[in-house]
Amino acid sequence: PFFEMIQVDNQQQAASLVVNRLANALNEKTLHTLGLATGSTMIPIYNSIINSSLDFSQVTAFNLDEYVGLASTNKNSYAFFMSEHLFSKKPFKETYIQNGLSEDLESECTRYENKLTEHALDIQFLGVGENGHIAFNEPGTSFDSTTHVANLTDSTLGVNSQYFDDHEEIPTRAFTMGIASIMNAKQIILLAFGEKKRQALEALLGDEITEQLPITVLKRHPHVTVITDIK
Ligand code: GLP
């Protein structure tokens, strides 16, 4: 397996590295489907992509997750985040994200997972939660999971509540690609910045592989690059 850990001084350096990686993959014609993530970690990366000459007009994008109950016009939805931070400024061939407003949750999960199966993910970006979650796969999620509805933990709700106004209800459930869906990606680029992510990163670098720390599953993946400013 290929496991590379790249130490950077700051997020700008990380973003430049990512843009170079993507440029190489586009040149080599090995990037057709790109898995995207939301969260503050991704913002400098998306800014650098927007300011680059990368051409994604032939690339299909898939997002990891979306809150149940939020419309794409709701500013807290991940669909809105993606449109604001990337898609409105860098066009893709097509973009997929779970429909937060779908009424039949089960069939929305099946629809999404089927779409993923039709398009193999060439590169998947991942951030990590402070509790080691990837996408919204919280501790205890089966490594065999595919796209499903997750109940968010108090830890995740606490961290994510900062983005919601006081009077707004933070959704307690979210659609998320499963661990197995993520592990199907040919290549994973995980980004972890700041001391708050140290424990999660240490779990990834340790020996243990456990569903209690979802990030540890990446030790079973054949091609992982970690980019971090944690020393
Ligand atoms: C959310 C997302 C994850 C993301 C995590 C970290 O829970 N579902 O995909 O990795 O937040 O977010 P941040 O980058 O803001 O630290």
Q: What is the 3-state secondary structure (H, E, C) of 113-166?
A: HHHHHHCCCCEEEECCCCCCCECCECCCCCCCCCCEEEECCHHHHHHHHHHCCC
Q: Which atom of ligand 1 is nearest to the CA of 128?
A: 10
| β-bridge partners, 78 | none
In short, whether 150's Cβ falls inside 6 Å of ligand 1 is no
Residue 144 annotated among the catalytic residues of the structure: no
73, 80 Cβ separation under 8 angstroms: yes
In short, whether 67's Cβ falls inside 6 Å of ligand 1 is no
Q: Which amino acid is at 54?
A: L
Q: Which atom of ligand 1 is nearest to the CA of 194?
A: 16
Q: Whose CA is nearest to atom 10 of ligand 1?
A: 127
Q: Whose CA is nearest to atom 8 of ligand 1?
A: 135
In short, whether 112's Cβ falls inside 6 Å of ligand 1 is no
- Which one is catalytic: 131, 148, 160, 221? 131
| β-bridge partners, 34 | 61, 123
In short, whether 156's Cβ falls inside 6 Å of ligand 1 is yes
Q: Whose CA is nearest to atom 13 of ligand 1?
A: 39
Q: Sketch out the chain's domains with CATH numbers.
A: 2-228 (3.40.50.1360)
Residue 223 annotated among the catalytic residues of the structure: no
pLDDT at residue 229 in the model: 98
In short, whether 33's Cβ falls inside 6 Å of ligand 1 is no
Q: Whose CA is nearest to atom 3 of ligand 1?
A: 135
Q: CA angle, corner 171, sides to 88 and 99, nearest 5?
A: 45
Residue 133 annotated among the catalytic residues of the structure: yes
Residues contacting 229, CB < 8 A, separation 6+: 7, 8, 9, 10, 11, 14, 193, 194
pLDDT at residue 168 in the model: 81
Question: At which residue do the structure tokens 């456990």 appear?
Answer: 210
Whether the ipTM is more than 0.85: the answer is yes
Q: Whose CA is nearest to atom 9 of ligand 1?
A: 135
Q: Which atom of ligand 1 is nearest to the CA of 193?
A: 16
One digit per residue, the tens of pLDDT, for the chain of length 231 reads 999 999 999 999 999 999 999 999 999 999 999 999 999 999 999 999 999 999 999 999 999 999 999 999 999 999 999 999 999 999 999 999 999 999 999 999 999 999 999 999 999 999 999 999 999 999 999 999 999 999 999 989 998 888 998 778 899 999 999 999 999 999 999 999 999 999 999 999 999 999 999 999 999 999 999 999 999
Residue 131 annotated among the catalytic residues of the structure: yes
pLDDT at residue 50 in the model: 98
Sort strands 148-151 and 173-176 into parallel, antiparallel or unpaired: antiparallel
pTM for the model: 0.97
In short, whether 41's Cβ falls inside 6 Å of ligand 1 is yes
pLDDT at residue 169 in the model: 84
